[in-house]
Structure 1
Amino acid sequence: MVPAAAAVLVAAGAVTYAVADGDHPPAPASVAVPGADSADAGFARDMAVHHQQAVEMSYIVRDGTRDEDVRRLAYDIAQTQANQRGMLLGWLDLWELPKVSADPPMTWMGMGDAPAGEDGALMPGMATDTQLEALRGKRGRDAEVGYLRLMIAHHKGGVHMAEGCVKRCEVKAERRLARGMVESQESEIDLMTGMLKERGARP
């Protein structure tokens, strides 16, 4: 018999595979397909990019520490955000909308005129290229503290975006996903703040 935890992971992997293979999550029949400039499309595009960096940072720290608590957290974040990213990109495919826009990131939130992020930080909370490179060079406690600090900031930016979708998106399934992101990431922020304190560090 497959253990419950393993069954969950198998199911999560199946979702990701299905989205990649073209079996996209169904859009509610009662909602018209959103436009390319809609909040629904903008959130899906921007959050997919935002999530991808969280996955990248989680794999970096996995290789930089042997601490089981941090590695477990990083694995959970990587799996969750990879699956959500697959859903967001799957919706864009289903809606036959482009995954890349000529508009600046966050335009759907009315932030398109804000100064562009420096050194690769395209959206709120995203780490810069310099910060990512520094994380790759850290080991042990330094890697754990560096990851936790970057991921707390990353989650805060993600919560801000998800709250924007809750207010602006029209597709009910997408608003539901955004609400779930707010709840889970706020919980993880509390968890990571505690993990930093255990290591004698501040966010």
Structure 2
Amino acid sequence: MSRGTSTRRTPVLIAAGVALALVAALVVWWRTAEGTANASTPGEQSAEVGFARDMAVHHQQAVEMSFIVRDRTDDQEVRTLAYDVINTQATQRGMMLGWLETWDRNKTSTEPPMTWMGHGGMYEAKDGSLMPGMATNAQLDQLRKAEGRDAEVLYLRLMTAHHKGGIDMARGAVKMADDQKVKRLAQTMVNGQQSEIDLMADMLAQRDAEADQ
């Protein structure tokens, strides 16, 4: 082997050594991160798990109501709001169900809703309304039968109440959760839904109606 050949191979060997070192470092980092993630998985009774379960159910009804009103009115402002609720809350619901999957937690529980907040059993569930702010089955049927302005006003009233209940729950998660991504999502819900409550108050006023019947 000539000296020139040896000299040319030296950088290659050095580069290969650096690459192997980087791979080794990544493996160590991944194993450490995995161990940390497993160690920090929220417990069954945690605020993180309870919030994700309850809010996923709460969000599902908001999406359902928004799909209903979309087909009951031609008003572009209401339809735009409904689309926003559908897109936002369906996405957030997917995130929360994904967390439960990652944490290896069931998506349902035998415990009453809001037990993680210390409010389990305090709300009297009735006719499909499982948590504060949720509409009853009778109200959903009424929305399905309404048209035009009547559908718009009913939707805005039901969604205002729904958002108020959701905000209370989200504030509980902001206060009680330790997981930063859960706290961030909960605060996003508080901010976004409060903005929509303000918007819906204006939309009701435009229709000579108020949030409370």
Q: TM-score, normalised by structure 1?
A: 0.85
Q: How many residues align?
A: 177
Tell me, in whole angstroms, the C-alpha distance in 2 between the residues paired with 1:75 and 1:140.
17
Structure 1 position 113 matched with structure 2 position 121: yes
Q: What corresponds to 1:94 in structure 2? A: 102
Do the aligned residues in 2 keep the contact of 1:48 with 1:88 (CA within 8 Å)?
Answer: yes
2:195 aligned residue (165, 180, 187)? 187
Greater relative CO, 1 or 2 (CA 8 Å, sep 6+): 1
d(CA) in 2 for partners of 1:93 and 1:40?
A: 13
Match of 1:45 among 35, 49, 53: 53
The answer to whether structure 1 residue 33 and structure 2 residue 36 are counterparts is no
| Aligned partner (choices 144, 148, 167) of residue 159 of structure 1 | 167
- The Cα shift of 1:36 comes to 1.2
1:174 to 182, 187, 195: 182
Bigger helix fraction: 2
2:81 equivalent to 1:73: yes
Range moving further from structure 2, 29-38 or 132-141:
29-38
* Shift of residue 31, structure 1, vs aligned partner: 7.0
**Aligned CA-pair RMSD:** 1.5
Residue 64 of structure 2: SS of its match in structure 1? helix
Question: Which residue identity lines up with residue 153 of structure 1 in the other structure?
Answer: A
Query: Structure 1 residue 82 and structure 2 residue 90: aligned?
Result: yes
TM-score (norm 2): 0.81
- Separation of aligned partners in 2, 1:73 and 1:29: 37
Would the aligned equivalents of 1:162 and 1:179 in 2 still touch at CA under 8 Å? yes
Deviation at residue 115 of structure 1 after TM alignment: 4.1
Q: Distance in 1 between matches of 2:171 and 2:101?
A: 23
Q: Aligned equivalents of 2:121 and 2:81: distance in 1?
A: 35
| Distance in structure 2 (CA, Å) of the matches to 1:82 and 1:115 | 25
Q: Determine the structure 1 residue equivalent to 2:8.
A: none
Aligned AA for 1:45? R
- In the TM superposition, what are the counterparts of 1:102-141 in structure 2 within 5 Å? 102-141=110-149
Whole-Å Cα distance in 2 between the matches of residues 62 and 110 of structure 1?
36
Give the letter aligned to residue 88 of structure 1.
M
8 A Cα contact 1:57 1:132, kept in partner: yes
Distance 1:108 1:129 in 2: 25
| Distance (Å, rounded) in 1 between the aligned partners of 2:69 and 2:123 | 30
Structure 1 segments, 4+ long, off by >6 Å, are none
Q: Deviations over 1:8-47 (max 9, x none)?
A: xxxxxxxxxxxxxxxxxx9x84970001111100000000
Q: Distance in 1 between matches of 2:106 and 2:84?
A: 29
Change (3 A) 1:179 1:115: closer
Q: Contact between 1:31 and 1:171, CA under 8 Å: does it hold in 2?
A: no
Please say which structure displays the higher CA radius of gyration: 2
Percent same amino acid among aligned pairs? 60
Q: Tell me, which stretches of 5 or more residues in structure 2 are unaligned?
A: 1-33
Q: CA deviation digits over 1:105-133, x for unaligned, max 9? A: 01011111314311111001000000000
Which residue number corresponds to residue 157 of structure 2? 149
1:148 is matched by which residue type in structure 2?
L
1:173-196 Cα offsets, whole Å, 9 max, x none, are: 000000000000000000000000
